[in-house]
Structure 1
Amino acid sequence: MSGHTRFLDDAAARGLRVEVADRGRARSLEEAAANLGIEPREIVKSLVVRHPDGSFLFALIPGDRQISWPKLRKLVGVNRLSMPAADVALEATGYERGTITPLGSTTAWPVYADASISGRISLGAGEHGRSAFVDAEELFRTLDATVADISDPL
């Protein structure tokens, strides 16, 4: 089953309304935003983070911000978190970098979302060249996400 199909199936099972857009391949987040006709802050990056116990979590961060490692470590209650290599992220989620999303992940890791995310957002749809638009609050509710201040400006 393709990543995009897993994404759509999981969204449907959760009752989450998604609108998929073909945006073409993009070399940067800014290019992806331009292709979609939106601002970079409206794209939410789904980042895979390794927990010290060997598990993973998703950090959802607006496109114009970055993870605040001190804030996320404090929230999770650990002294160390890290970004895994691309092959490890693929193994943990079933998605390649650039397509990662918590929806349809091969393992349902915990989700932490930055509190600044709101309204209609775009995120990965499980396949290169495609993005999905969703309502942030609805997404967070269906994923049982922990919403907190976990980012800093770029």
Structure 2
Amino acid sequence: MKKIKKTNAARILDDLKIQYELKTYPVDEEHLDAVHVAKEVGMPPEQVFKTLCVRGDKTGVLFAVIPGNGELDLKALARASGNKSCEMVHLKEVLPLTGYIRGGCSPLGAKKEYPVFMDETCRLFDRIAISAGMRGMQILAGPEDLVRATRATVVMLTM
């Protein structure tokens, strides 16, 4: 059995004594979307949450954590985060800002601790999946534990 190398995100959960499972899956460069990842880890897409890097006009960079099959409502995020408007961070900026690449962005363990806003549908499940901070690995944990670990504000973020 191959030992799984822990990511910074997993070590943060360890430090907080939060129970979680690391689930690995084969990376397909052509299909980095959360719906594909959900299929790979055997969970419904609405239970596999993707982390989007967003910039607010007043607050700067923040993370929106939404269901894999959901679409971010930028107006709802702006309202929740105290911004007039929000826009997606350009892909080429994500790595320098967060330390993460597309398909491996986690709300835990980024270069800086950015504010996290998590879609309220996370509370519909006993466990949800988020990126462990690298392609090919997901963290499965209780939503309330992840809310606590990320210090997330839980609001409706999807259309």
TM-score by length of 2: 0.86
Whichever residue aligns with residue 135 of structure 1, its letter is G
CA distance in 2, matches of 1:30, 1:53: 31
CA distance in 2, matches of 1:87, 1:18: 31
SS of the residue aligned with 1:116?
A: helix
Whichever residue aligns with residue 73 of structure 2, its letter is S
Q: Which contiguous aligned blocks of 4+ residues in structure 1 show a shift greater than 6 angstroms?
A: none
CA distance in 1, matches of 2:7, 2:38: 23
2:58–2:82 CA contact under 8 A, matched in 1? no
> Cα deviation per residue 1:37-92 (whole Å; 9 max; x = unaligned)?
11111110111111224731111101121111111111122222111122211111
What is the match of residue 78 of structure 1?
Answer: 83
- Number of residues of Structure 1 aligned to a counterpart in Structure 2: 150
How far 1:110 sits from its partner (Å)?
A: 0.6
2:34–2:69 CA contact under 8 A, matched in 1? no
1:130 matched to 2:137? The reply is yes
1:8 matched to 2:10? The reply is yes
1:116 matched to 2:121? The reply is yes
SS of the residue aligned with 2:71?
A: strand
Q: Kindly report which structure 2 residues correspond to 1:1-150, keeping only aligned pairs within 5 A, or say none.
A: 5-26=7-28, 27=31, 28-53=33-58, 55-118=60-123, 119-150=126-157
CA distance in 2, matches of 1:90, 1:20: 22
Query: Structure 2: 5+ residue runs without aligned partners?
Result: none
CA distance in 2, matches of 1:151, 1:98: 19
Whichever residue aligns with residue 92 of structure 1, its letter is L
Query: Structure 1: 5+ residue runs without aligned partners?
Result: none
1:4–1:127 CA contact under 8 A, matched in 2? no
Higher relative contact order (CA 8 A, sep 6+): 1
TM-score by length of 1: 0.89
Alignment RMSD (CA, Å): 1.7
Whichever residue aligns with residue 25 of structure 1, its letter is V
